[in-house]
Amino acid sequence: MAWYGQRQCVWLTPKMQPDFTEINDLQKPVHVLFLSKITLDSRIITDWLAAGSESWPSVIMETLQFLQQRDSEGKDNWPKRVELRVRQLNESTQSSPLNLGMQGLRISYLPFHFWQKGWPDFIILTTRESSVATE
């Protein structure tokens, strides 16, 4: 645990699952995910995709689909409401690589529902609509 911007923080986990979900679900809820320009410009193929399909690049790609989101008047308003899906395998599926039936796949969502302004310099995903900077 460390401090960043007068907030407790942890380094970005190498894998979203199970690393991040264990921290968020079992230790302390995470309210903000900050991906800096350095992180976004990293060697995404060699460093991140090797971690598997449920790694941070998949979250970034899913977040980007909300980039074209507009309000009813066509304005590009921020923050953008996002629903970021995570596929989780239950214990029976994890124990058998051949058991990939529907009972083994469970869809859940990351706790972040708001994408704050800052793209393409960084991505900030939060659990609340108001940004940290306005508080």
Compute the radius of gyration of the chain from its Cα atoms: 16
- pLDDT on residue 66: 94
* pLDDT, greater one: 13 or 113: 113
* pLDDT, greater one: 94 or 24: 24
- pLDDT on residue 58: 80
- pLDDT on residue 133: 58
Average pLDDT over residues 122-134: 83
Q: Does residue 104 carry a pLDDT above 60?
A: no
- DSSP H or E stretch at residue 40: helix 37-40
- pLDDT on residue 4: 63
Average pLDDT over residues 84-111: 61
* pLDDT, greater one: 40 or 50: 40
* Residue closest to 66 by CA, chosen among 53, 77, 50: 77
